[in-house]
Structure 1
Amino acid sequence: MAHVVVIGAGQAGSSVVAKLRNDGFEGEVTLIGAEPILPYQRPPLSKKYLLGEMDLERLFLRPKAFYDDNNITLKLGKAVDSVDSIGKTIAIGGEKIGYDQLVFATGSSPRYLPASVGGDLGGVYAVRDLADVDAMASEFESDRHVLVIGGGYIGLEAAAVAASKGLRVSVVEMADRILQRVACKETSDFFRRLHQENGVEIIEGVGLETLIGDGRVRQAKLSDGRILNVDFVVAGIGIMPCALVAEMAGVAMDNGIATDKFGRTNVDGIWAAGDCASFPYNGQRIRLESVPNAIDQAETVAQNIMGGEKEYNAKPWFWSDQYDVKLQIAGLNSGYDDVIARRGEGAVSFWYFKGDAMLAVDAMNDPRGYMIGKRIIEAGKTIDKTAVADPATDLRAFM
């Protein structure tokens, strides 16, 4: 009977094994995770969990009983040493496991500050997994000063939590503006203003030169020469796909593990899903770092392992919670040449266009605008720019 092994016990890995069993797969299923804990959701780590508003059990994607009841073998707290793609075996902790189908759902890992700039000092943290957040939790005490390196969504979410807990917060972004890589100027301006209104110092166009300390960070010297006294540092400088074991097994790489439209890699019997996997999308190859992608792509792979031959049709959407603002994003804004603002009572959204074609929408406390924009994008339609800009226009007519 066929044996499916999934490496990576995050959102994607858990979704693969659940979908296999829910769709009636009767073979052996093994889920391998490097962390010694049940698969859990990561987005709340830097928000509700760090704020103390969500306990550990609520993080779990499924209870232990689910895996027991569905005859899913869990191997947690163990990292895979190597994969023999010819012999179809996995080496893990001195043990060898055979497989018929293998799924890499290894996710991504944070970029760390190098030791050359003081990244190895005590009090310097990254935000990715439960251990990271547990390690830094005791640092979040009022009146302390935290330096956040990186003005992307990870850094800004950490800054929002710190400010909400009464800390003094400085955010340093090397680019000309926060969110420059992922959002338009209008969205950057919105969140800069939001953070400043909550007491956060936003420093843009300035990099980190070095961290200074005697075993533990005490100061940060910036590229413009100023020196900040800090109590601890959170680095939110991006993430990278975890693909080393797959690459060593002969799997092709292209911005992560390269898959086709079905989730297959170039190696027979090996698939990939989630943050670690890139795939074809609208004539290009992309990699999506989001929970919805991890779930949908993983479930597509599970169906195809069972012979489904189903193409993965990505529907990109994302979200971020900062203070009392919920940002919802639909679509991908790459290549936009125009941004239209739509403002309502307590809500604002920015709509991205390339020519007359609508690409994406950033909606702040505007769930209606987000949902309508998402449906328009997924239907392959567009919307009149003048109508978007007029808050009196009922956008449902364009769905």
Structure 2
Amino acid sequence: MSSVRKLMASIANSLPLKHGISLWCPQHASLNRTRLPSSFRSSASARRYGVVSCAFANENREFVIVGGGNAAGYAARTFVEHGMADGKLCIVSKEAFAPYERPALTKAYLFPLDKKPARLPGFHTCVGSGGERQTPDWYKEKGIEMLYEDPVTGIDIEKQTLTTNSGKLLKYGSLIIATGCTASRLPDKIGGNLPGVHYIRDVADADSLISSLEKARKVVVVGGGYIGMEVAAAAAGWKLDTTIIFPENHLLQRLFTPSLARRYEEFYQENGVKFVKGASIKNIEAGSDGHVTAVKLENGSTIEADTIIIGIGAKPAVSPFERVGMNTTVGGIQVDGQFRTSVPGIFAIGDVAAFPLKMYNRIARVEHVDHARRSAQHCINALLTAKTHLYDYLPYFYSRVFEYEGSPRKIWWQFFGDNVGETVEIGNFDPKIATFWIDSGKLKGVLLESGSPEEFQLLPKLARSQPHVAIAKLQKASSVEEALELAHASVQAGAV
């Protein structure tokens, strides 16, 4: 027996058989199949398992990642760290670019052209977390096969085969679904796809929007969430007449309290942004050339616009993977604490995964770059090693706006934990403000605007520890610094 085969036999005998472990045989050009024990078969269908060649002369791939976003890039890095990428990993993407840090698209990418906007290759993964910039050359050097602009259109679970738009067949050993989300769109019948209407999920979308901003005079942003706030801030940097329309009572209603939202709204208004709250769109109007001219609201009023950006949410991109197992409550593909789906050998990570949020004992689907990064790393580590610990994610959200040169003030907030219970707000927004969520006497979540690096580093510790905090004492804090010190002291007291 060769040294390689002895090594493989040793690994196979020493590791407990676990859902998703792949054994790679570099000397076999065909896909040999072995049966999993019945306890590891999907309840829907028994999946055959096998080993594949690292030579891509045929359709066989050992590991395939479907999707080209943040999760795919961080998963690729983790494969490389384990020495399991070279000649074994294939990434299939609908985009023309190697994976990149998608948050840049609604932030620095949209800066005015004289304000040093972000451009590729500057924000390829994994620079967002301080890692190496993974350019197309990086993937070549690491022996990773990249299939660009060729999205997966079909899957045969029994045959472990993917079909791409170009007709390519890919036979996989382990499959990682990292397809992310698609932008929610307004219906065509009310003008959702007229020239001048923009959605933003990828570089092509951002490029199209920039072309419009260069010629725009009046911009309407539909949606008061992350996308709406970030795009409106960028449009203000272009010195454009900018209006945000949304049906809720205040900005980012799923997270901000009314009083906190009012602070942000005042700052936006100081920067020339107008608000139309509690409004619903009836239709988008167009001129004789077919290009947008205005947004008509259900109340009969009309707002002129030559550029419209729709930011009304996103939907998990699950097609063509519905058979893998959907979660009908939060959407996306159901996985366990190691991102395994109901089909052995198939995993789902990032925005598309409906996973157990361990610390809050519920199933969640998180659309955020931090979860995309962490879920990718956890999944691949579990796939390639004998580690069996479950994903224990602390919800984290952030945003940065008005960061371009010449801005009167840069805005950057971070939130950790769960926004449930009573709220205590400390500070006056200038220079900083903090909001604490207290439920049954425990600190559940905390948001900080314009904090110091040390203060931001304290937030996850507070949210994960969930210390008992006296609301009355917290309310008497004279500053954000004092409030954070009180919360931190509660953590230390609890530890003692």
TM-score (norm 1): 0.95
Map of 2:375 onto structure 1 = 297
Secondary structure of 1:351's partner? strand
1:117 aligns with 2:190: yes
Q: Which runs of 5+ in 2 are unaligned?
A: 1-23, 25-50, 52-61, 126-133, 403-409, 492-496
The equivalent position to 1:35 in structure 2, one of 92, 95, 102, is: 95
* Partner Cα separation in structure 2 for residue 205 and residue 371 of structure 1: 36
Cα deviations by residue, 1:194-248 (Å, 9 ceiling, x for unpaired): 111111111111111111113111111112211111111000000111111111x
Aligned-pair CA distance for 1:189: 1.2
The equivalent position to 1:372 in structure 2, one of 448, 458, 477, is: 458
1:316 partner amino acid:
P
Aligned-pair CA distance for 1:373: 2.6
Q: Which has the higher strand share?
A: 1
1:164 aligns with 2:249: no
Which stretch shows the higher mean deviation, 61-70 or 11-20? 61-70
1:59 aligns with 2:151: no
Contact 2:199–2:311, Cα closer than 8 Å, also in 1: yes
Aligned residues: 396
* Partner Cα separation in structure 1 for residue 456 and residue 262 of structure 2: 19
* Partner Cα separation in structure 1 for residue 460 and residue 474 of structure 2: 14
Secondary structure of 1:342's partner? strand
Aligned runs of 1:276-287 on 2, under 5 Å?
Answer: 276-281=352-357, 282-287=360-365
- RMSD value over aligned CA atoms? 1.8
1:182 aligns with 2:255: yes
Map of 1:19 onto structure 2 = 78
Which stretch shows the higher mean deviation, 86-95 or 302-311? 302-311
Secondary structure of 2:265's partner? helix
Aligned runs of 1:1-399 on 2, under 5 Å?
Answer: 1=24, 2=51, 3-25=62-84, 28-51=88-111, 52=113, 53-61=117-125, 62-92=134-164, 93-141=166-214, 144-214=217-287, 215-247=290-322, 249-254=323-328, 255-281=331-357, 282-307=360-385, 308-323=387-402, 324-333=410-419, 336-343=420-427, 346-367=431-452, 368-389=454-475, 390=477, 391=479, 393=482, 394-395=485-486, 396-399=488-491
Rate the CA distance shift 1:13–1:382 in 2: closer, same or farther, 3 A. Answer: farther
Contact 1:143–1:166, Cα closer than 8 Å, also in 2: no
When Rg is computed on C-alpha atoms for both structures, the one with the higher figure is 2
Contact 2:191–2:285, Cα closer than 8 Å, also in 1: yes
Q: Which runs of 5+ in 1 are unaligned?
A: none
Secondary structure of 2:201's partner? coil
Contact 1:328–1:370, Cα closer than 8 Å, also in 2: yes
TM-score (norm 2): 0.77
Report sequence identity in percent.
27
